[in-house]
Amino acid sequence: MTKPEQQETHDAIIIGAGVTGIFMLHKLLGMGMDVTVVEAAARLGGTWNKNRYPGCRFDSESYSYGYTFSKEIFEEWKWSEHFAGQPETLRYLEFVVDKLGLIDHMQFGCTVKTATYDEEGRCWHVELEGGRTLSARYLCTAIGLLSAPTLPRIDGMGDFEGESFHTYDWPEEEVVLAGKRVAVIGTGATGVQIISEIADKVDQLTVFQRRPNWCAPLHNSPVDDQTHEDFKSRFDEWVELIQASPSGFAHQPIIRRTKDVPKEERYAFWEELYASPGFGIWVGNYFDATLDPEANAEFSEFIARKTRERIDDPEVADILIPKDHGFGTRRVPLETRYYEQYNRDNVRLVDVSKSPIECITAKGIKTAEEEHEFDLIIYATGFDAITGAFDRMEIIGRDGEKLADKWMDGPQTYMGIQVPGFPNLLTLAGPQSASHGSNFPPAIEAVCGWACGLIEYMRDNGYETCEPTNAAHEEWEKSVREAYGNTLIPTAKSWFTGYNSNIEGHDKMRYLVYLRGAVNFRSELVDVSSNGYRGFDIR
């Protein structure tokens, strides 16, 4: 392949200016490299720029979601809530970029159309929408795990005369909710947040639920000055706590089997978890709660009881309690007064599993039983998770092989970071890494740090290309699959297991996530690098 003339050339190109892209840019610039970030949106922030729907906020503790690589940033930024909302998180990322002087290395409004490996030049050529091309030795994808929204495949969606959009495409300008008849389709983490937030702001809210999720209270609260000072004084301890946790949150699983704990004691502990903030209820429980079917069933029944207590109408409660999967086998939405919203007179729940949506009409949504009229339809229908953002651009490796074809039946990677046949492509936050199975930013700090170590090693030794061997990739694949088998995750259809009814072909299990936890993942990274980057073919 010949290099197009007058091409903009860098040492590295990072695609995406979100949490990952920002940190990777900072690291590579620190190594003295010439780097540019190309970002499709008009501003930085990635997920936290796009998800502007009402109620969007962290389910991670603010202090565990913020970067931990800089004590100065940790100390200077004061979170206003223990689980910050989207506007604050976006401001935080802008603060970090400003503090580190990164903005001049970012180009906005740049959607990548194709990225093609040039065997002869040992580099990547990136073509943007509009025709501009850039090239670099290293191509780093920082394109998010939930950044390819999927709309349902329902007839008549274009006929609706009111407003409608996917939560990811929530408009920047204000959306008037007061006095509106609103439909929300979808009750995942996004739907739960939006329903909780808007129920008392709209005239009527109708929720279309296909399958319920197990939700638990978030217990958010403001951060006062004293608490912030405490966090500042315990920075090292706090980072250690997060690093020691398999989930990357400020919670450790209890190393006791559920049935080994006397009944009274375990129920008292579960009450405590239900009354505590954050994901402790999911990842700070007895370790077998999401591994052993019996333990899982008992804990699920406990949550079902807690849920029923909050809903006035037992029939509505029954529809909201999952029957097809146990607690924690899908992503647990954390909520603030979610279930109480169904006690309001202006909120209605439609069970789509019993009363399927037939079509969208000019006026609203027609189910098998009724035609509902709306002013606004909100699609909280989720994402083509983890691999979707890769599929939306054309990535072409050695011998013209397309990444989308290679990954047709599921991703193939080594360490979740590289793909055989795609030299010098670093899939930061790519499939089969720990960043999806644990708190995202700490995992990404580890992955980016490791990838930079690899680049440094290549630079110091005069190497030009790196890609995994097929054998290493196959072994990794096997290990990722085996880890699924040790959990109850495969018993539930969700984005963790690669299902999405709105995409052709995504109706079978795909192994997208490294499930052995963040601590093991970091050990595997260290093991590989300290053994001469075992499994990588570096030339």
Q: Which of residues 50 and 105 has its CB atom nearest to ligand NA7 in the complex?
A: 50
Among 146, 425, 480, 512, binds ligand NA7 (CB under 6 A): 146
Among 64, 190, 285, 329, binds ligand NA7 (CB under 6 A): 190
Q: From the CB of 486, what's the least distance to ligand NA7, in Å?
A: 21
Is 338 one of the binding residues for ligand NA7 (CB under 6 A)? no
Is 186 one of the binding residues for ligand NA7 (CB under 6 A)? yes
Is 498 one of the binding residues for ligand NA7 (CB under 6 A)? no
Among 210, 337, 402, 459, binds ligand NA7 (CB under 6 A): 210
Q: Which of residues 71 and 354 has its CB atom nearest to ligand NA7 in the complex?
A: 354
> Minimal CB distance to ligand NA7: which residue?
188
Among 115, 185, 376, 417, binds ligand NA7 (CB under 6 A): 185
Q: Which of residues 286 and 440 has its CB atom nearest to ligand NA7 in the complex?
A: 440
Distance between the two ends of the chain, CA-based, in angstroms? Answer: 20
Among 63, 249, 495, 521, binds ligand NA7 (CB under 6 A): 495
Sorted by sequence, the CB contacts under 8 Å of residue 278 that are 6+ apart come out as 59, 60, 61, 82, 83, 218, 219, 249, 250, 251, 334
Residue 386 · residue 148 · CB < 8 Å: no
Is 140 one of the binding residues for ligand NA7 (CB under 6 A)? no
Is 132 one of the binding residues for ligand NA7 (CB under 6 A)? no
List b or e across 246-276, with b for residues whose CB sees 16 or more CB atoms inside 10 angstroms.
Answer: bbbbbbebbeeebeeeeeeebeebbeebeee
Q: How many residues bind ligand NA7 (CB under 6 A)?
A: 20
**DSSP reduced 3-state for 508:** coil
Q: From the CB of 194, what's the least distance to ligand NA7, in Å?
A: 9
Q: From the CB of 368, what's the least distance to ligand NA7, in Å?
A: 13
In the numeric block, which tokens belong to residue 501? 């009814």
Q: Choose one: 284-292, 363-371, 470-478, 495-503; the region binding ligand NA7 (CB under 6 A).
A: 495-503
Chain positions 270 to 309 lying near ligand NA7, rule: CB under 6 A, are none
Among 381, 427, 433, 497, binds ligand NA7 (CB under 6 A): 381
Residue 473 · residue 536 · CB < 8 Å: no
Is 382 one of the binding residues for ligand NA7 (CB under 6 A)? yes
Tally Cβ neighbours within 10 Å of residue 364: 19
Cα–Cα distance for residue pair 112/392, rounded to 1 Å: 9
Q: Which of residues 424 and 494 has its CB atom nearest to ligand NA7 in the complex?
A: 494
Cα–Cα distance for residue pair 459/451, rounded to 1 Å: 12
Cα–Cα distance for residue pair 256/264, rounded to 1 Å: 15
- The candidate with the shortest Cα–Cα distance to 417, out of 389, 386, 465, 451, is 451
Is 355 one of the binding residues for ligand NA7 (CB under 6 A)? no
The CA distances from residue 205 to 97, 308, 378, in Å, are: 39, 21, 11
Q: From the CB of 114, what's the least distance to ligand NA7, in Å?
A: 28
Q: From the CB of 422, what's the least distance to ligand NA7, in Å?
A: 27
In the numeric block, which tokens belong to residue 464? 């030009």
Q: From the CB of 356, what's the least distance to ligand NA7, in Å?
A: 8
- The candidate with the shortest Cα–Cα distance to 383, out of 154, 168, 155, is 168
**DSSP reduced 3-state for 27:** helix
Among 80, 470, 479, 501, binds ligand NA7 (CB under 6 A): 501
- The candidate with the shortest Cα–Cα distance to 51, out of 81, 80, 93, is 93
Instruction: Determine which helix (DSSP H) or strand (DSSP E) holds 114, and give its type and residue range.
Output: strand 112-118
Among 276, 343, 491, 502, binds ligand NA7 (CB under 6 A): 502
Is 189 one of the binding residues for ligand NA7 (CB under 6 A)? yes
Chain positions 313 to 332 lying near ligand NA7, rule: CB under 6 A, are 331
Is 380 one of the binding residues for ligand NA7 (CB under 6 A)? yes
Q: Which of residues 28 and 148 has its CB atom nearest to ligand NA7 in the complex?
A: 148
Cα–Cα distance for residue pair 156/374, rounded to 1 Å: 14
Interface characters, 383-402, with ligand NA7 (x: CB under 6 A): x-------------------
Q: Which of residues 61 and 298 has its CB atom nearest to ligand NA7 in the complex?
A: 61
Q: Choose one: 12-20, 266-274, 449-457, 494-502; the region binding ligand NA7 (CB under 6 A).
A: 494-502
The CA distances from residue 361 to 175, 191, 210, 370, 502, in Å, are: 22, 22, 19, 12, 19
Residue 151 · residue 380 · CB < 8 Å: no
Cα–Cα distance for residue pair 298/250, rounded to 1 Å: 25
Among 45, 66, 85, 191, binds ligand NA7 (CB under 6 A): 191
Cα–Cα distance for residue pair 303/400, rounded to 1 Å: 51
Q: From the CB of 381, what's the least distance to ligand NA7, in Å?
A: 4
Among 352, 376, 386, 480, binds ligand NA7 (CB under 6 A): 352
Q: Which of residues 228 and 392 has its CB atom nearest to ligand NA7 in the complex?
A: 392
Is 188 one of the binding residues for ligand NA7 (CB under 6 A)? yes
By CB atoms closer than 10 A (0-12, 13-18, 19+), residue 536 is buried
What's the half-sphere exposure (Cβ side, CA atoms, 13 Å) at 523?
A: 8
Among 152, 277, 449, 453, binds ligand NA7 (CB under 6 A): 152
Q: From the CB of 92, what's the least distance to ligand NA7, in Å?
A: 17
DSSP type of residue 380: -
Binding footprint of ligand NA7 on the chain (CB under 6 A): 146, 152, 185-191, 210-211, 331, 352, 380-383, 495, 501-502
